[in-house]
Structure 1
Amino acid sequence: MVPPIVTLQDKVMLVDDRLDRRPGSHSLGCTNHVFRDAIIEAINVFADCISEYIGFCMDNSIPTKEVHCYPNNIPWVTSDPKALLNKKNRALSSGDCAELKHIKRELKHGIRESKDNYKRKLEDELENNNTRDIWVGRREITNLQRKGGGTAYGNEQQANEFNQFLNRFDSSSPTLISSGHHLQLNVAKTKEMVMDFRRNKPLHSPVCISGTDVDSVDSYKYLGGMLDDKLEQTPNMEAVYNRGLKYAPPQDASPCTKRLSEIERQWMHCFGRSVELFLSADYKLPEDAFNWWKRLQLERRNFSAYSETVGRLFEMIPPSPGLSEPRPGSCRTCSLVGNSVKLKGSNYGPEIDSHDIVIRMNHGRTKGYEVDVGTRTTHHIMYPESAVDLDNTTHLVLVPFKIQDLEWLMKAFTTGFHGTSYVPVKSHIAANKEMVMVVNPAFMRCVHDSWLSKNGHYPSTGFMALILALRICDEVHVFGYGADNDGNWSHYWEKLKDKKFKTGLHPGTHEYSIIQKLAEKQILKFYEGR
Structure 2
Amino acid sequence: MHNKERLLIAVIASVTVYTTSYYLLAKQEHPVEESHHVNYKFDILGNHSPSQYEVVKWYNNSLFHTKNVTNDTFLMINENRFPLEKIVKLLQKPWTPNIANRDQLFLGSLSKKLLSFQFVTKTTVPKNHKVRIINSNKTVILPGDIYKNLPAIHQYSERQFNTCSVVGSSGILNGSCCGSKIDSADFIIRFNTPRLNGFTKDVGSLTNLVTINPSQIEKQYNRLQSKEDRAKFIAYIQQYQSYLWISGFTYLKSFEYTKLAMRTVRRSRPKRGMKLKILLGHPTHWYAMNKFLSNRGLNASYASSGAYWLTSALTMCDKVNLYGFWPFSTDQNGKPVSYHYYGKSAPRVEKIIKVHRFDQEFAIILDLHI
What TM-score, normalized by structure 2, do the two folds share?
0.56
CA contact (8 A) 1:482 1:489 kept: no
CA contact (8 A) 1:444 1:459 kept: no
1:258 deviation in Å? 7.5
Residue 448 (structure 1) aligned to one of 279, 290, 293? 290
Amino acid at match of 2:322: V
Deviations 1:494-514 (A, max 9, x none): 113556458432121111011
1:457 deviation in Å? 0.7
Q: 2:184 and 2:177 mapped to 1: Cα distance?
A: 13
Q: 1:489 and 1:451 mapped to 2: Cα distance?
A: 26
The answer to whether the aligner puts 1:439 opposite 2:253 as a matched pair is no
Bigger CA radius of gyration: 1
CA contact (8 A) 1:343 1:479 kept: yes
1:461 alignment counterpart: 305
% identical equivalent positions: 23
2:258 alignment counterpart: 409
Listed as ranges, the gaps of 5+ residues in structure 2 are: 1-38, 40-46, 57-95, 218-235, 266-271, 332-336
Q: 2:246 and 2:149 mapped to 1: Cα distance?
A: 15
CA separation of 1:435 and 1:338: change in aligned 2, threshold 3 A: same
Q: 2:352 and 2:264 mapped to 1: Cα distance?
A: 35
CA contact (8 A) 2:325 2:362 kept: yes
CA separation of 1:451 and 1:366: change in aligned 2, threshold 3 A: same
Residue 238 (structure 2) aligned to one of 383, 390, 398? 390
CA separation of 1:514 and 1:264: change in aligned 2, threshold 3 A: same
SS of the residue 1:449 aligns to:
helix
Deviations 1:285-312 (A, max 9, x none): 9x99936x124xxxx7x22xx1x22665
CA separation of 1:342 and 1:431: change in aligned 2, threshold 3 A: farther
The answer to whether the aligner puts 1:509 opposite 2:362 as a matched pair is no
The answer to whether the aligner puts 1:314 opposite 2:155 as a matched pair is no
Q: 2:282 and 2:180 mapped to 1: Cα distance?
A: 32
1:339 deviation in Å? 0.7
Aligned residues: 250
CA contact (8 A) 1:281 1:320 kept: yes
Amino acid at match of 1:390: Q
Listed as ranges, the gaps of 5+ residues in structure 1 are: 1-217, 219-225, 238-255, 417-429, 521-530
SS of the residue 1:452 aligns to:
helix
CA contact (8 A) 2:172 2:324 kept: yes
RMSD of the TM alignment (CA)?
4.2
1:324 alignment counterpart: 157
Residue 479 (structure 1) aligned to one of 300, 318, 323? 323
Residue 495 (structure 1) aligned to one of 344, 348, 352? 344
1:415 deviation in Å? 6.2
Q: 2:273 and 2:98 mapped to 1: Cα distance?
A: 33
CA contact (8 A) 1:290 1:442 kept: no
CA separation of 1:314 and 1:515: change in aligned 2, threshold 3 A: same
Amino acid at match of 1:397: W
SS of the residue 1:372 aligns to:
helix
Q: 1:433 and 1:320 mapped to 2: Cα distance?
A: 18
CA separation of 1:513 and 1:258: change in aligned 2, threshold 3 A: same
Q: 1:471 and 1:278 mapped to 2: Cα distance?
A: 14
SS of the residue 1:366 aligns to:
coil
CA contact (8 A) 2:116 2:124 kept: no
Q: 1:289 and 1:234 mapped to 2: Cα distance?
A: 35
CA separation of 1:259 and 1:309: change in aligned 2, threshold 3 A: same
